[in-house]
Amino acid sequence: MDAATDDVGTVVADMTHGDGVDAVFDCAGTPVTVDQSLKMVHRGGKIDVVGVTFEPLSINSIDLVMGDVTLIGCGLKFDIPGAVDLLDSGDVKVGDLVTHEYPLSKLTEAFHTQKTGQDAIKVQVVP
């Protein structure tokens, strides 16, 4: 599934037979992805906005309130150490998300690729 071309809400609805998911971790944090998250989570579910953007978010309060959805921001102090532990343990596999790898000496090129690369998912900088 490619969120840039596929309707993520429809894919999730199909996969869950219309039930939605318990939790959504929105790692982009854009107005579009937060709106998609509201459509994917089932009643009483939770959305954790991890990604940050400078764009203001506009949330449909009807979806939020009527869906009894809990919307929280990522608590960096608490969430990041737990995420690092999961990665370190190998319980969560993310290797396929890294589409580009650059040495530290090419940091500027790495940022440019992440910002403008059509096929860039995650760009990793290796010291």
pTM of the predicted protein model: 0.62
DSSP-derived secondary structure letter, 54: S
The pLDDT, as a whole number, for residue 45 is: 93
CB 8 within 8 A of CB 40: yes
Q: List domains and CATH numbers for the chain.
A: 1-75 (3.40.50.720), 92-127 (no CATH)
One pLDDT digit (tens) per residue for the chain, 127 residues: 666 677 888 888 889 998 999 999 888 888 888 888 998 999 999 999 888 888 888 888 888 898 899 998 876 666 677 778 888 898 888 888 889 999 999 999 999 999 888 888 889 999 8
